[in-house]
Amino acid sequence: MPVKEPSSPLEKFRAVAARLNNPSVEQHKSNGGKVTGYFCSVVPEEILIAGGILPFRIRGAMSKTTDMADEYFTSWNCSFPRHCFNLALSGEYGFLDGLVVAGSCDTIRFTYDNWRKSPIKTPFIHLLNVPHVSGEAMTGYFRDELTRFRSALETAFSITIKDEAIWDAIRLCNRTRKLHQALYEFRKQDNSPISGSQIASVMIAAGSLPKEEYNADLEALLQMLPAIPVKSQKPQARIMLVGSGGDDSIIADIVEDLGAMVVNDLTCFGGQIKHEMVPETSGDPLEAMATYQVMTKPFCPKIGGAYPLRRDVILNMMREYRADGLIGQRFGCCDPWSGELYTLRDDLKAAGFPSLILEREYIPDSLGQLNTRIQAFIETIRG
């Protein structure tokens, strides 16, 4: 029986977000193209695209268990990479021709080691070392890492990645960021024509589709949104989401089922990937990308010294999108996000914003407790 084609860009994005592989990846492979998976948005898609390689962001979607991965990890390791690795062990990532792992945290770093030592047959596996402190001195360090990454790709895939091709890819990915920013503008309205849950699917799909195709679909969606009628009743609360993960809509679904509205986020798969632009100046494209990743993006808590930037970005976003409160989430056993969120809670309180800090597993066993706590938080805001 033929598969029904999505009738709208949003339907397509939701279908892509709900699974791992998708028809666009399969078409790229059938045309002789290569696909390389990657962990963390600090890995520059631009270098892969410039080499004719389709970037594919690793997720744990559709995972039900970590039984096989638990032979390599301990229960003290974050459940996100364990679910991702379990899918790889079960063959779900067999379509990958390569894997790039950013050494962003210990558990992700262990994933690189375990993937190499496991029976998984991924032809090319590369560890991209990333700075763990912020500052201009780290820009040169990361630029050298990008040079090493570029050379490794050229050797592994017998290709040449020219500066001009990287600049073209930078402009292409900057176009994606501009479209994402235009999408988030709709969330400033009293009632948005697109929900936080739907936006999560749009952002997740960005890591699973060819950029030209994704940009065209997103442009079409943006043209459709102004004509969609919105509710006349204002939401019970305007909520911002911050934290690890973000490749699902679990928290947004609960918030919006309770009559509130997710108006913004700064998560790994969401707002983090749309922040600012890689400078499109002449010169060294690797230097431009290193500067963007080290000095411009608000980073994540795994980077020491970047908290003041993240705090200021979050507070500005809260005010700009008229958020009433913030929900922060972290996966169990993630110490960097644990310290981050509790420090942020105090700064939010000082600025007059209430917050709720949630700890959950990547695939929750039950949503009941999350629902209860979020409902109480929304009622507190209303009161």
Other residues' Cβ atoms within 10 Å of the Cβ of residue 287:
16
135: Cα separation from own chain's centroid? 23
Q: Which CATH class is domain 22-164?
A: alpha beta
Condensed to tens digits (0 to 9), the pLDDT of residues 184-238 reads 999 999 999 999 999 999 999 999 999 999 999 999 999 999 999 998 888 999 9
Other residues' Cβ atoms within 10 Å of the Cβ of residue 20:
20
Which helix (H) or strand (E) covers residue 294, if one does?
none
Sign of CA dihedral 196, 197, 202, 204: positive
Helices 335-350 + 307-320 axis angle, to 10: 50
Predicted TM-score (pTM) above 0.85:
yes
Q: Is the pLDDT of residue 1 over 90?
A: no
Highest mean pLDDT among 6-10, 80-84, 338-342: 80-84
Other residues' Cβ atoms within 10 Å of the Cβ of residue 182:
14
Q: What is the pLDDT of residue 3?
A: 43
Report the alpha-carbon distance of residue 75 to residue 70 in Å, rounded. 7
Q: What is the residue extent of each domain of the chain?
A: 22-164
Q: What is the pLDDT of residue 2?
A: 38
Report the alpha-carbon distance of residue 381 to residue 364 in Å, rounded. 25
Condensed to tens digits (0 to 9), the pLDDT of residues 72-99 reads 998 788 889 999 999 999 999 999 999 9
